[in-house]
Amino acid sequence: MIAPMRFDTIAISRHGPVAEIRLNRPARRNPIDRPFLDDLDAAAAMLHDDASVSVVLLSAEGAVFSAGRVTGAAALDEAPARDALPFRCLETMAQPVIALVEGDALGAGLELALACDVRIAADRATFALSGLAAGSMPRAGGTQRLPRLVGRAKAAEMILLGEALNAAAALACGLVNHVAPAAEARAAAERLAQAMASRGPLALRYAKEAINRGLDMPLEQALRYETDLTVILQTTHDRAEGVRAFLEKRPPRFEGR
């Protein structure tokens, strides 16, 4: 297990094999700024290397998930460097990441949620990329991740018009995976995280890698990549334990090796 680190903009907690990264500046509506990006990169790197963590839950303190980018000296007002890829750290983490969106996810706040593998929303949540009205455009992956998730037409409508979606509309277009009443959203996300964590941790990591990398490959190459990962998985202790547990009709005891 990796030693805990202290952060200024986020808080990290553990619930068995599930780690939680929580945006922790509710008085400022959990802004996306340089200190947050630095903390997120460090936290993601720390959890990535922790073999005892199987799943990561991303949440936010307060009524707003994130109001996005802020103005001022610490904001992301400057043109980003070509090698700067905000939120990419969530996609390259070994563990699946579940976003729990209990309030508004606006601008870069929505782009943050888009970088996660699964999104759970409270029924009061709203989602919007409205930067064009102020003469700016998404700069943290919104123009690329959103079309891949909801399709080109819906993404164009949301980005070019700044259309806000409520939770029901977000579910209908595939932006979120599940919607729950506000009082039950956290419990729903925690149940999902624990259900994922009960699977083999190596299988979870390889499956996430196959999904994310395969989307950028031609189909035939992606199928071969899936096969390669499957062959590697077959050589692991966890795979053998899964087979033994099935034959012995008992829950598997995975060790991540």
Ordered DSSP codes for 30-75: -EE-HHHHHHHHHHHHHHHT-TT--EEEEEESSSEEE-EE--STTS
Domain ranges in the chain with CATH number 3.90.226.10: 10-197
State yes or no: pLDDT of 246 exceeds 90: no
- Report the alpha-carbon distance of residue 18 to residue 194 in Å, rounded: 7
- Whether the CA torsion 55, 40, 36, 129 is positive or negative: it is negative
Is the separation of the CB atoms in 125 and 65 below 8 Å? Answer: yes
Instruction: Specify the 3-state DSSP secondary structure of 118.
Output: strand
Condensed to tens digits (0 to 9), the pLDDT of residues 92-117 reads 999 999 999 999 999 999 999 999 99
Selected residue with higher pLDDT from 245 and 58: 58
Pair type for strands 18-23 and 10-15: antiparallel
10-197 under CATH 3.90.226.10, yes or no: yes
pLDDT of residue 250: 54
Matching residue, tokens 């018009």? 161
Amino acid at the residue 210: A
- Whether the CA torsion 112, 115, 120, 126 is positive or negative: it is positive
Q: What is the mean pLDDT of the chain?
A: 87
Per residue, the 3-state secondary structure of 162-213, as one string, reads: CCCEEHHHHHHHCCCCEEECHHHHHHHHHHHHHHHHCCCHHHHHHHHHHHHH
Which homologous superfamily does the CATH classification assign to the domain defined by 201-248? Lyase 2-enoyl-coa Hydratase, Chain  A, domain 2 (1.10.12.10)
Domain ranges in the chain with CATH number 1.10.12.10: 201-248
Whole-model pTM?
0.88
pLDDT of residue 134: 73
Condensed to tens digits (0 to 9), the pLDDT of residues 121-163 reads 999 999 999 878 777 888 899 999 999 999 999 999 999 999 8
pLDDT of residue 69: 86
Mean pLDDT for 38-51 is 94
- Report the alpha-carbon distance of residue 208 to residue 192 in Å, rounded: 16
- Report the alpha-carbon distance of residue 197 to residue 56 in Å, rounded: 9
Instruction: Specify the 3-state DSSP secondary structure of 232.
Output: helix
Mean pLDDT for 186-199 is 95
How far does Cα 252 stand from its chain's mean position? 27
pLDDT of residue 247: 52
Please state, in angstroms and as integers, the Cα–Cα distance from residue 11 to each residue in 60, 83, 87, 102, 225, following that order.
9, 27, 17, 17, 36
